[in-house]
A and B are shown apart, each in its own frame.
Chain A
Amino acid sequence: MLELKNIEFKVQSSKGELEIIDKVNLKLESGKFYVITGPNGGGKSTLAKLIMGIEKPTGGQIIFNGEDITDKPINERAKLGIGYAFQAPARFKGLTVRKLLSLASGREFPADECSAYLTKVGLCSADYLNREVDSSLSGGEVKRIEIASLMARELKLAIYDEPEAGIDLWSFAKLVESFKAISKGTHESVLIISHQERIMQLADEIVIIANGKIQKQGAKDEIFPELLKQLGEENSCAFRKESE
């Protein structure tokens, strides 16, 4: 369904050229649930943004359902069925939660349907519908609305960037339940960037990214025990560059 071929993303910094994504090759199949994990700064979010079109690769090709989308803008990729929930979502003065969900789904969203999606992310009060997505909402609330706005879309590939960030333990349990259900719902394939064991447990496949490269990719049952072992051992910094 999605294929990244030799994807490169370099940026200029004061220290010279930095390779954020280093010739990554990745294939995602339809109907599968993927979790990308790995250390901070390893290139996970950048890779997700390259898939959505928020960043443009400096080399390589992105093929989506047989079509080369490397040069397609964000909104056209969205129309092809790719969606992305930001790690740090934007706030909008004057835009209500209901309006945002309606814009996301591309139609006027009925109040009860809206509430159902908000309940999935642990926002249970109907009051949220007419609240503005501005600074009056807490970080955790905005984050959950962001997740709901992606869940509400019918997508071929839904990308969630660290959905657990800033979310309390109670809502997190609810969120995991919702992600469990979603793979059978509105999304054909799901890609979640996460550090959470409970989210990794939902995966069909786990991809480990560090230093801009794919370190490992494979079935959850194969990767997960190994990952736990590594993290438990002394060399838990094995992912990191020595200079850091």
Chain B
Amino acid sequence: MLKLDSDILKTIASISDIPEGAYNIRKNGSALGRHSTENIEIIPKKDKPGIDIIIKPNTKGESVHIPVILTETGLNDLVYNDFYIGENADVEIVAGCGIHNDGCQTSQHDGIHTFHIEKGAKIKYIEKHYGEGSGSGERILNPQTIVNLGENAFAEMEMVQIKGVDSTKRDTEAFLDKGAKLVITERLMTHSKQYAESNVDITMNGDGSSAQIVSRSVGKDESVQIFHPRVIGNSACRAHVQCDSIIMGNSKISSIPEIDANNGDAQLVHEAAIGKINSDQLLKLMTFGISEEEAEEIIVQGFLK
């Protein structure tokens, strides 16, 4: 494997070579490698770009890695990935996309991920987005994620945009059945003139369902961020939405949490805060002998961890 590829894989999927278990590594629009296991089958789609990932019921403790690398400038990669997670399975799915753009044309990857999580199944989904390269070409990532959670299913989703992504529009939708639980943790850092927009719509259809969205972001330089998490409570459900942002430089951040209750037993809470780094935190770290700039970096890194 090329060093560039393995470096990017390390950043976005915490692997530097071919991972264990099932995987599909996509590079510049085609498969760099693919492997199915007894319980996890990865099948390329026939009608459009993308793959079906089929996880057998009761599969426990296995993982799937499906990272994407873009190193060609001017490439516009669109992919449809569908996940079918069988009843009572418990698996980890590591996605993520890294763009290395040394050219002057825009490189773009739009991943459309649909999850069908059956009754009692559990997933942990980790998605990291990252951009690098010396070119003037933009690096764009527009992921769409649709999550269908069956009865008592559980999904923990960690979505992180580390740095270097010039423009992103994330759309996440989830539908929860009886007793289903969803935890979304979003971490986002923008700098220079980057733009990031994140819309999350969670529809709570089943009694006893619960959802939690924790979004933390840091906006630096001239970057712009817009968050719009929304929870729709159609049942006796519970949800908590929390958006927390640190604003630095001349960045602009909008946080618009929304909660809609259509059922008298829905309990929905939202909170949102935007502010600069607390001066007490800076002072405290400076009393340890740390410079103001280093202290800022420590606070930001801790906040986004």
Contact = CB atoms under 8 A, between A and B. Distances in A.
Interface stretch (B60-68, B101-109, B297-305): B297-305
A89 interface: yes
Contacts of A89: 280, 284
B286 interface: yes
A153 B244 CA distance: 32
B287 A78 contact: yes
B262 interface: no
Contacts of A78: 286-290
A108 to B, nearest CB: 14
A94 B284 contact: no
Given A95-B302, A103-B298, A90 B287 contact: no
B136 interface: no
A42 B303 CA distance: 37
Given A88-B280, A99-B302, A106-B288, 12 more contacts: A54-B283, A73-B286, A78-B286, A79-B289, A90-B278, A94-B301, A94-B302, A94-B305, A95-B298, A95-B299, A95-B302, A103-B290
A84 interface: yes
Given A75-B289, A103-B288, A94 B281 contact: no
Given A90-B278, A93-B303, A94-B304, A103 B285 contact: yes
Interface string B231-252: 0000000000000100000000
Contacts of A90: 278, 280-281, 283-284
State which size class the interface on B falls in.
Answer: 20 to 34
A20 interface: no
Closest 3 CB pairs of A and B: A94-B302, A78-B289, A90-B280
14 contacts: A75-B286, A78-B288, A79-B289, A83-B287, A86-B283, A88-B280, A89-B280, A91-B281, A92-B281, A92-B302, A94-B305, A95-B302, A106-B289, A149-B288
A52 B302 contact: no
A113 to B, nearest CB: 17
A189 to B, nearest CB: 16
A51 to B, nearest CB: 11
State which size class the interface on A falls in.
Answer: 20 to 34
Nearest to B281: A90
A153 B291 CA distance: 17
Interface string B103-136: 0000000000000000000000000000000000
A86 B286 contact: no
A86 B285 CA distance: 12
Contacts of B298: 95, 103
A89 B291 CA distance: 19
Contacts of B288: 75, 78, 103-104, 106, 149, 153
Interface in A51-99: 52, 54, 73-76, 78-79, 83-84, 86, 88-95, 99
Interface in B256-305: 278, 280-281, 283-292, 298-299, 301-305
A196 to B, nearest CB: 23
Interface-centre pick from A52, A83, A86, A93 (highest chain B CB count, 10 A): A93
